Amino acid sequence: MGSTTGSNGVRGSAIAIAASSKLSVDDNVIDGGERVVVRFKNTTEMEHAMHLHGHAFSLVETAGTWFARPLLKDVSLVPANGGTATWQFSADSPAGRWLLHCHNDIHMADGMMTEVVYES
Ligand SMILES: [Cu+2]
């Protein structure tokens, strides 16, 4: 995820959903309390319903449209064929390992699953 930290202290991360049905995550270890930005790019030909356990996130962008009033969600569709989605969430759940995966069970079983880890 080519992690970057902006001057506002918000950590940015990117997740590629590859044709291999594996999530590619550059940096999934974060500090508790951080405000985190996650950007998905879907290079497959299917939509994926991405879900992060233990958190609500703000959906701030999907398919290139940025929302003036982000939607509070716990799952969002990432459009197919290069589609994008951007989330922001606060890492304010208990420290530990939180599952991040596609909600299509077949895709999850094929490896579209990772975790967000809080270091305490
Ligand atoms: Cu999927």
- Residue range 73-101, pLDDT digits in tens: 999 999 999 999 999 999 899 988 999 99
Residues of the chain with confidence (pLDDT) below 50: 1-3, 7
pTM, two decimals, is 0.83
Residue 12: what pLDDT?
Answer: 65
Residue 16: what pLDDT?
Answer: 75
Rounded to the nearest angstrom, the distance between the alpha carbon of 9 and the centre of ligand 1 is: 31
Consecutive H or E run containing 11:
strand 11-17
Residues surrounding ion ligand 1 at CB below 5 Å: 48, 102, 104, 107
Rounded to the nearest angstrom, the distance between the alpha carbon of 80 and the centre of ligand 1 is: 10
Strand runs (DSSP E) across 53-102, as ranges?
57-62, 65-73, 75-78, 83-90, 97-102
Report the C-alpha gap between 90 and 67 in whole angstroms. Answer: 18
Rounded to the nearest angstrom, the distance between the alpha carbon of 19 and the centre of ligand 1 is: 11
Report the C-alpha gap between 102 and 117 in whole angstroms. Answer: 17
Contact 98, 116 (CB under 8 A): yes
Domains and CATH numbers, the chain: 4-119 (2.60.40.420)
Rounded to the nearest angstrom, the distance between the alpha carbon of 92 and the centre of ligand 1 is: 26
Contact 13, 38 (CB under 8 A): yes
